[in-house]
Amino acid sequence: MRVLVTGGAGFIGSHVVEALAARGHEPVVFDVRADAAADVRDRDAVERALVGVDAVCHQAAMVGLGDGVADAAEYVSRNDLGTAVLLAAMADADVRRLVLAGSMVVYGEGGYECARHGVVRPGPRDVAGLDAGRFEPLCPLCGAEVTPGLVGEDAPLDPRNVYAATKVAQEHLAAAWARATGGSAVSLRYHNVYGPRMPRNTPYAGVASLFRSALARGEAPRVFEDGRQRRDFVHVRDVAAANAVALEADQAGGVLAAYNVGSGEPHTVGEMARALAAAYGGPEPVVTGEYRLGDVRHVTADSSRLRDRLGWKAEVGFADGMREFAAAPLRGE
C-alpha cells in the first residue's frame, strides 16, 4: 500500500514510516518538520499529498497537557480542525482506510473497583485534596479507598484536560467520516509511549522525555505527586508495529474500531524514573509532591483486544526498553 503518514517526521510517525517500509509498503511523509507547507489544516496541500494514496496513518497532532486552557485554541486547530480537513479531503479523494493516533487520555481516570460498589468511576480530583497530598481517588459513592485496575476500550470517555478533549473529538470525527463514506477507521489509543527520537524537554513532552532530559543535564528527575501513579509505558517500536498491523487488517467499514496499545506491564512513574536514572547512571529521582491539575492518578491498559483480534503484542520489555532509552538520542524541538 501507498500510505500517507501525517506527522511522519515526528517521534512516533518516523518509527511508523520505518515499520511500514520494512513490511513492503510505500510510506509518504507529510509533516511540517519536513516541509513547511505540509500542514494538515491546508486543504490544498492535503489534496496534493493524497494523490495515489491507498491509506492514511494520521499521526500529526499537538500533544501533551500544555498550559491549562491558554493554548486550547491551538490544540483544537491542530488536532481537530486538522483532522476534519484531512477527512474531508480523503472523502473527496476516495481514500477509505484510516488509522488514527488515539490516546489513553480519552478515558480520564483508569479502571477502579470499590470493595462495596464494584467498578466505579471516580470524578476529577480537587485542588484542596491535591494540595494536602491526597492523590488517590476515592469511591464516588461511599468515599472508601478503591483499587486501580486495567481500563478497556468500552470504558466511558471522560477527558480531563484540553488535549484529551481534542483526542475524543478526533475519534468522533473519524467515526462520522467512516459512517458517511463506508471507510475503515481505527483509533489506536496509545498509552505512555517512549523510546528513541522523543522530543527533548518541552512543555508538551511526555514524562519519560522530561526525565531523560533532566538526566542529560546532570539533574535528578523530578517526580510529581508521590511517584506511585500507575502508567503503561510502551515502546515506540511496538506502537509503530501496531500501526502497521492495523493498516493491514481487514476492518469493517462504516464504523470506528478502537484498540488500546499498551505493554501490558503497568509500572509507577517513580519506578520508571528510577529505572531510567539507574540505566543512565545519573542522580536518583526526587519526589516533589507537585501535581498538574489535568493529570489523572492511574490509567493502565487492557490491550487484549488488539492481541486477540489483530495478533499484535508488545515485544520490548520495560527493563530493556529503559536501558535503550537511557542511551538513545533525543530530538531537539
| Residues identified as active-site | 163
| Signed CA dihedral, 39, 42, 48, 53: sign only | positive
Termini Cα distance of the chain:
31
Cell of residue 173, nine digits: 470525527
- Cα distance between residue 131 and residue 291, in whole Å: 8
Tell me the CB-side half-sphere exposure of residue 73, using CA atoms within 13 A: 1
The CA–CA distances, whole Å, from 287 to 217, 226, 227, 262 equal: 18, 6, 6, 25
- Cα distance between residue 188 and residue 79, in whole Å: 15
Look up cell 507529510; give the residue. 30
Q: Which amino acid type is present at position 198?
A: M
Q: Which amino acid type is present at position 257?
A: A
- Cα distance between residue 319 and residue 333, in whole Å: 27
Q: Which residues contact 146 (CB under 8 A, 6 or more apart)?
A: 112, 113, 114, 120, 122, 136, 137, 138, 139
